Chains A and B, each alone.
Chain A
């Protein structure tokens, strides 16, 4: 057997770059009293997760303004429901993505109800290959949840069709690392899609 590449990626951490911070949510419902505001750190949550949530929304909707509205709506709903969050059941990141998914679905449904007036460029990409809009959304959500490094290799290699050698030439990341990242990113995508399919079944 050939030698193992020396700079192979560590065991899967495709989403580790954005690991959730459940401690930022209180495990008990916050007080409604204005003198003892709840400890949900909205700014920290935004700083840590807004990029991924925006990536989810903008790639699902292909409209930056709509996507920003979705992110804002996501944090608004999270803020209003913060006393319902339990870190024992899901991470903050997972919870925010669930909210964002519902917001995006709401927006997509609103768009679908307005077929004559939606600008064509809004929908050009939203009618892509996946037959079921939820399947498409699941793929985009899975990609959005990956770390930037793992997502980048999937985009470069599997969406844009570049070879690992070509990506190495432009990024400086060795082929062995890229192939390792690709493997673990695909694994994370597989697990995500399996989980989503199970929920949608």
Chain B
């Protein structure tokens, strides 16, 4: 509990920040400032904090999340234990099947491995916003600028393929001479993000990025136009990384321009 002078100090400083002190309170604050130099310092600091805060936001959304979110989060634990039980009794399961369980409740739009018999799932698979963004966008950057594709924070996730949020480098093969393609994947709870940096593809020609799944389905992750400049693309597909076996870049005729085979993800 603050002492009386501390509480009065707080009362005066907060009033001064918003300019709501009475004449008597102003005089009192001046007296306090003269006696205690930390008052002036704190008044200046907190005024600056108030200014930055009000300059950053104009309102605050105080609504609660939907009730369904709790169930989705608690399913993480349920499914985790289900995974452990499944894994402990499925030692002989082939690698190619070992990740399909977390995909088995996928929406039919993914056209994927719904036939898996291992039912452990994390419920969130995709969101409408993802589908809205799914056609992908590309940024053509000038010679001097390349967007960062690496995690911006030192503690960004790392780990084997399939680690949520971690950037997984992939290697394309088969690209025509003069074409350079650097690719990465990011596994998300809602699907798989493909990051591409491309040079050398025919300018203005359309190309599709396609993810091939364990069951052989080809999922369109977006399209882009070739450019004389470096292309930096980020594309999303509503399919879990565990279910993706390769990434292809196809031309307008459907011919594969380059392909990256992926390791099994966990």
B60 A155 Cβ-Cβ under 8 A: yes
**Is there a chain B Cβ closer than 8 Å to A116's Cβ?**
yes
A103 to B190, CA, bound (A): 13
A190 to B44, CA, bound (A): 11
| CB < 8 Å neighbour of A10 from B1, B57, B77 | B1
Whether the pair B165, A102 counts as a contact (CB closer than 8 A) is yes
Assuming A11-B6, A159-B57, A190-B49, is B133 touching A72 (CB within 8 A)? no
A102 touches B155 (CB 8 A): yes
- Residues of B whose CB lies within 8 Å of any CB of A are 1-2, 4-8, 10-11, 13-15, 17-18, 20, 24-25, 28, 31, 42, 45-46, 49-50, 52-66, 69-70, 72-74, 76-77, 80-81, 84-85, 88, 122, 124, 127-129, 132-133, 135-137, 139, 147, 152-153, 155-157, 164-165, 186, 188-190, 193, 195, 232-234, 236
CB <8 Å contact, A186 and B76: no
User: A139 vs B144: C-alpha distance in the bound complex, in angstroms?
Assistant: 32
A154 contacts B65, C-beta separation under 8 Å: no
Cα distance, A128 to B10, chains bound together (Å): 30
Given contacts A34-B88, A65-B128, A79-B80, could you give 19 more A-B pairs where the C-beta distance is less than 8 Å?
A1-B28, A2-B8, A32-B84, A37-B81, A46-B74, A47-B70, A54-B69, A55-B61, A63-B129, A68-B66, A76-B164, A106-B186, A109-B152, A117-B135, A119-B132, A128-B55, A186-B46, A189-B53, A190-B45
Nearest 7 Cβ contacts at the A-B interface: A113-B234, A183-B10, A8-B7, A34-B84, A114-B137, A183-B14, A129-B55
Closest to A50 in B: B65
Expressed in whole angstroms, the Cα–Cα distance for A114 and B132 within the complex equals 11
Residues of A within 8 A of B193 (CB): 110
CA distance A66 to B189 in the complex (A): 12
User: How distant is the Cα of A127 from the Cα of B234 in the complex, in angstroms?
Assistant: 20
Task: Check if A54 sits within 8 Å of B127, measured CB to CB.
Answer: no
**Would you call B50 and A113 a contact (CB within 8 A)?**
no
> Does A48 lie at the interface of the complex (its beta carbon under 8 Å from any beta carbon of B)?
no
- Kindly list chain B residues whose C-beta atoms are within 8 Å of the C-beta of A10: 1-2
Residues of A within 8 A of B6 (CB): 11
- Interface residues of A, Cβ cutoff 8 Å to B: 1-2, 4-5, 8-11, 32-34, 37, 42-43, 46-47, 50-51, 54-55, 58-59, 62-69, 71-73, 75-77, 79-80, 98, 101-103, 105-106, 109-110, 113-119, 122, 125, 128-130, 135-136, 139-140, 142-143, 148, 151-152, 154-155, 157-161, 163-165, 176, 179-180, 182-184, 186-187, 189-190, 193
Neighbour of A75 across the interface among B4, B55, B76, CB < 8 A: B76
Across-interface contacts of A98 in B (CB, < 8 A): 155
